[in-house]
Structure 1
Amino acid sequence: MARVSISGGTLVVEMEGLHKAWAMRSRIEIPLANVRGATLDPGIVHGSKGIKRLGTHMPGVITAGSFQHDGDRIFWDVRNPAGAVVIELADEDFTRLVIEVADPRAVVRLIEQAARPV
């Protein structure tokens, strides 16, 4: 599971507990200017993840870490698909973050409001 916050114009994603080890990463920071948006997508876990670069993948159990899919580098941290949020990025190492959060609707709302141009 991940915790998402906005701090000083930066999207902060922090992996919690054992997810840090499974994902091989504890924190990701992205300038809000590079966040294109966020959506709820529990079905994304059923699609192809691509090639695992670094992390953990046990089908039906957990997908966590860096994956390469169709030329895109995607960060995953999902055990429970019901909490899956997809964050689209531009001009970053990752083109997408697919993370599990406790309240996906609230996280999507937070990101959409923060990333919206003024």
Structure 2
Amino acid sequence: MASLRVHPDRLEIHLTKAEKTLSLRRDDIVVDRVNIRSVTITDDPWIWIRGIRAPGLELPLVLAVGTWKFHGGKDFLAIKRKRQAVVIDLVEEDFTRVILTTNHAPDLIASLKL
């Protein structure tokens, strides 16, 4: 599971080695805090998926890791099973949305003060 680190100016999403391999990414994701529009907690992250996988891996309702492209941009997903997740809407970043399964969703929102 990806680990999240909140800094005063940025949010760092550190992917595990397996997540990097499955998503065909070399680097972690770093987002400027000023570019975070909203953060939502969801109990069913699968309903938030939009577009087509390119590149990445998806096993429906089990695992989704990688980039999903759609008409308006692209999203990054790291979803495992039907667990609580955060949906981070972004502006002026590589991704329009980042969806991550995490055990610490309320703590993330509190630390971002959104």
Q: TM-score range by the shorter chain?
A: 0.7 to 0.9
Task: Give the share of equivalent positions with the same residue, in percent.
Answer: 24
Matches of 1:74 and 1:60, distance apart in 2: 18
2:94 aligned with 1:93, yes or no?
yes
Q: Post-superposition shift, 1:70?
A: 3.8
> Residue 99 of structure 1: CA displacement?
0.6
Looking at structure 1, the residues matched to 24 and 109 of structure 2 have their Cα atoms a distance apart, in angstroms, of 24
**1:83-111 CA deviation, whole Å, 9 max, x = no partner?**
31100100111000001112222122222
Q: Cα RMSD (Å) of the superposition? A: 1.8
* Larger helix proportion of the pair: 1
Letter of the 2:10 partner, please give it.
Answer: T
What TM-score does the superposition give when structure 1 sets the normalisation length? Answer: 0.83
Indicate how the Cα distance of structure 1 residues 105 and 81 shifts in structure 2: closer, same or farther if over 3 A, else same: farther
In the alignment, structure 2 segments of 5+ residues that lack a partner are: none
Measure the CA separation in 1 of the matches of 2:45 and 2:69. 15
Deviations 1:31-85 (A, max 9, x none): 1111112110122313543211111111121111000134231000001332311
Structure 1 partner of 2:2:
2
4+ residue runs over 3 A deviation: 46-49
Mapped to 2, the partners of 1:77 and 1:4 lie a distance apart of 12
How many pairs were matched up?
A: 113
> Aligned letter for 1:92?
E
Q: TM-score, normalised by structure 2?
A: 0.86
Partner of 1:104: 105
